[in-house]
Chain A
Amino acid sequence: AQTVTQSQPEMSVQEAETVTLSCTYDTSESNYYLFWYKQPPSRQMILVIRQEAYKQQNATENRFSVNFQKAAKSFSLKISDSQLGDTAMYFCAFCRSSGGYQKVTFGTGTKLQVIP
């Protein structure tokens, strides 16, 4: 079974600074996907960024980027130029495709507070 570990329950960062959220996972699969989801106080789950395991290049979406270390099974999220709107819970998630459907395992989340 896959497990996803987020070891930082809470973090804070000053506005305009950079912060890195960590995530590690355990799997015996070789082909899978990793994601970061954002959940603001509105509760809506929003996909921030995704990474295909077979791609060596780290994914980037504007101010969000990942550091994917496949051998170490590590998938951290870097948020540059933090903004107040980045305040949210962030969930790391692992997905594998099985029999035509996707099985997603979520981490326990990191609560990020951006301080003005």
Chain B
Amino acid sequence: NAGVTQTPKFQVLKTGQSMTLQCAQDMNHEYMSWYRQDPGMGLRLIHYSVGAGITDQGEVPNGYNVSRSTTEDFPLRLLSAAPSQTSVYFCASSRTGMGGMYNEQFFGPGTRLTVL
């Protein structure tokens, strides 16, 4: 199993450009999520999905779109990049919690995005 993969590893954008960060997992996990990591702020949830066709907003969703057409893939779209979106982005996946049980989240290697 490759686990959770993310592409690209690094990206530089100009303000106003759009792009898609790719995330894929091969563990048949229902739950997938996107976080951004900024210095001194930990990881903050952007969007998440509990299955194909189902997405919802997290803590910091503005400026980002997601869709989930398959179980495996969960792309994150930046519609019009802004310098405030300079960050490291992590995708994670897990089984959904049943009956209050926790299932470990597996993280991708991250994408470092710089917006000039």
A interface, by DSSP: helix, strand, loop or mixed?
strand
CB of A95 closer than 8 Å to a CB of B? yes
Is there an interface contact between B100 and A106, defined as CB atoms closer than 8 Å?
no
CB of A97 closer than 8 Å to a CB of B? yes
The CA of A29 and the CA of B113, in the complex, are separated in Å by 35
Is there an interface contact between A44 and B109, defined as CB atoms closer than 8 Å?
yes
Residues in A with CB closer than 8 Å to B45 are 103-104
The size of the chain B interface, using a CB distance under 8 A, is: 26
How many A-B contacts if CB must be within 8 Å? 55
CB of A108 closer than 8 Å to a CB of B? yes
Is there an interface contact between A97 and B31, defined as CB atoms closer than 8 Å?
no
Is there an interface contact between A108 and B42, defined as CB atoms closer than 8 Å?
yes
Is there an interface contact between A44 and B107, defined as CB atoms closer than 8 Å?
yes
CB of A115 closer than 8 Å to a CB of B? no
Query: What sequence of 0s and 1s flags, for each residue 102-113 of chain A, a beta carbon within 8 Å of any chain B beta carbon?
Result: 111011110000
The CA of A104 and the CA of B106, in the complex, are separated in Å by 13
Q: Which residue of A lies closest to B59 (CB)?
A: A105
Is there an interface contact between A108 and B41, defined as CB atoms closer than 8 Å?
yes
The CA of A22 and the CA of B92, in the complex, are separated in Å by 25
Min Cβ gap B79→A in Å is 25
Query: What sequence of 0s and 1s flags, for each residue 1-27 of chain A, a beta carbon within 8 Å of any chain B beta carbon?
Result: 000100001000000000000000000
Which residues from chain A sit less than 8 Å from chain B, CB to CB? Answer: 4, 9, 31, 33, 42-45, 47, 50, 52, 91, 95, 97, 100-104, 106-109
Smallest CB-CB A-B distances: 8 pairs: A45-B107, A106-B42, A97-B97, A106-B43, A33-B102, A108-B42, A97-B100, A43-B110
